[in-house]
Every structure is written in C-alpha cells, then in structure tokens.
Amino acid sequence: MSLTGNSFMPLIRVEGGKPRIATDAYAAVADDAALPEGAVLVSLARFRKEREQLLARNTPVGVTLQAGENPELLGDDVSRLSLVALEFPKFRDGRAFSWARMLRTRLGFTGEIRAVGDFLYDQVNYQHRVGFDAWLVPDSFTPETFERAFHEMTNVYQPSSDGRKTIRDLRAAR
C-alpha cells in the first residue's frame, strides 16, 4: 500500500526541456500520519509545526500549498525545499499561476513546482510558462499530450518565468 495515495496518478516532469514520465520520489504524508523514510511531501501546516524535525532529516522535503496559501508564508525556508506542490482546488481557481510565478521570480525557487488537483489540458501550457515543471495527472495525459499543449501557440506576447523570447523581442530581432 502506498502512502502517497496517488499511485495511479502518473507524474509528468519537464526535464531537459522535454516532458517525460517521472518517478515520484516523494511520499505525500497526511497531517496525522507517521513520517516514512525518504523524501516527503507535507502540508504547510505540518511543515510549520514540525519544521525543525523535517529539515534535520537530510532527505528532500516538499510542501503542498493550498490555493489560498501564499508561498511567502514559507519565508526563508523556501530555499531549503526541493519541491513545492501547488493545489488547484478547481480548474477555475487561477491563484496558483501567480504563486508559481512568484516562486520562480521573487523567491528564486529552483526546485520542482508541481501542479496537483483539478486542472485541464488547456491550462498546462500557461502553467508551464509561469514556472510549473511537474504535473500529477490522470493517466490519459501522456508526455505527448504535454508536447502538443506546449506547442499549440508558437509565440507569446508576455514575458514570464520561462524567460521565453516574446513577440516584441522577435520583432526587435528582425
């Protein structure tokens, strides 16, 4: 029995610019469950309560943030995390787009930003642009699905966390 509860949800991660099926090394641990060996993913509440202990384990720690939880709540600890999972409670709730962008820019987070919860195929390109690089998805999503989503629109108008050249940059380079 997996403690993660997502054993049927494949993880897709962008590595070397390519979406691939990845192994989820993190055990998502409920707030009242015992901590297993190895990498763990805990809620913000648990992280705050057991911060010292979690950081002293010398194994990777990830925190899941609910849509209403601003990553700044992590304070300086953000640099000690290797994964931040951002929750989409329903696909219409777009707060995590700003949280991912904030993690990548203001907070300089270089670890994995993982989308979890309810989101659509049609959102993964936006998620990718603002800084997400991993997705916990139903198994109908394949790396090819992601490839397609990333390339439906060739160019973009806005600068974002992905550092892509914008249409304005391309115009200037003509």
Partner 1 sequence: MPDKALEPVQPRMYRYDEFDARFVGERVEQFASQVERRLKGELTEDQFKPLRLMNGLYLQLHAYMLRIAVPYGTLSSRQVRKLAHIARTYDKNFGHFTTRTNMQFNWIRLVDVPAIQRELASVEMHCIQTSGNCVRNTTADQFAGATDEEIEDPRPLCEIIRQWSSLHPEFVFLARKFKIAVGACAKDRAALQWHDMAVQVVKNAQGRIGYLVMAGGGMGRTPYVAHVMNEFVEREDILAYLEAVLRVYNQDSRRDNIHKQRIKILINTIGPEEMRRRVDREFQELKRMGTLQLPREELARIAAYFAPPEFETGLPDAIPDAGPDFADWVKTNVSKHKAPGYAIATITLKTPGQVPGDCSSEQMDAIADIMDEFSLGEVRVTHEQNLTLPHVRKKDLPAIHARLKALDFAAPNAGLITDIIACPGLDYCDLANARSIPIAQKIARRFENLDRQHQIGELKIKMSGCINACGHHHAGHIGILGVDKKGVEFYQLLLGGSGAEDAAIGAIMGPGFGEHEIVDAVERVVNLYIRERKDGERFLDTYRRIGMEPFKNVAYREQLYAAHTG
Is the CB of 79 or the CB of 91 nearer to partner 1? 91
For 49, what's the count of Cα atoms within 13 Å in the CB-facing half-sphere?
Answer: 7
For residue 74, the minimal CB distance to partner 1 (Å) is 15
Nearest-angstrom CA–CA distance, 55 and 174: 50
86, β-bridge pairs: 65, 115
Positions touching partner 1 (CB under 8 A) are 67-68, 70, 91-95, 97-99, 101-102, 105-106, 120, 122-123, 125-127, 129-130, 152-160, 167-168, 170-171
The three-state (H, E, C) secondary structure of 60-109, written as one string:
CEEEEECCCCCHHHHHHHHHHCCEEEEEECCCCCCHHHHHHHHHHCCCCC
For residue 158, the minimal CB distance to partner 1 (Å) is 5
Is the CB of 5 or the CB of 89 nearer to partner 1? 89
Nearest-angstrom CA–CA distance, 42 and 84: 10
Is the CB of 30 or the CB of 153 nearer to partner 1? 153
Is the CB of 64 or the CB of 161 nearer to partner 1? 161
Q: Mapping DSSP to helix (H, G, I), strand (E, B) and coil, where does residue 11 land?
A: strand
Q: Cα–Cα distances in Å, from 131 out to 30, 84, 104, 112, 113?
A: 26, 11, 6, 9, 7
For residue 144, the minimal CB distance to partner 1 (Å) is 15
For residue 6, the minimal CB distance to partner 1 (Å) is 21
For residue 59, the minimal CB distance to partner 1 (Å) is 31
Is the CB of 31 or the CB of 122 nearer to partner 1? 122
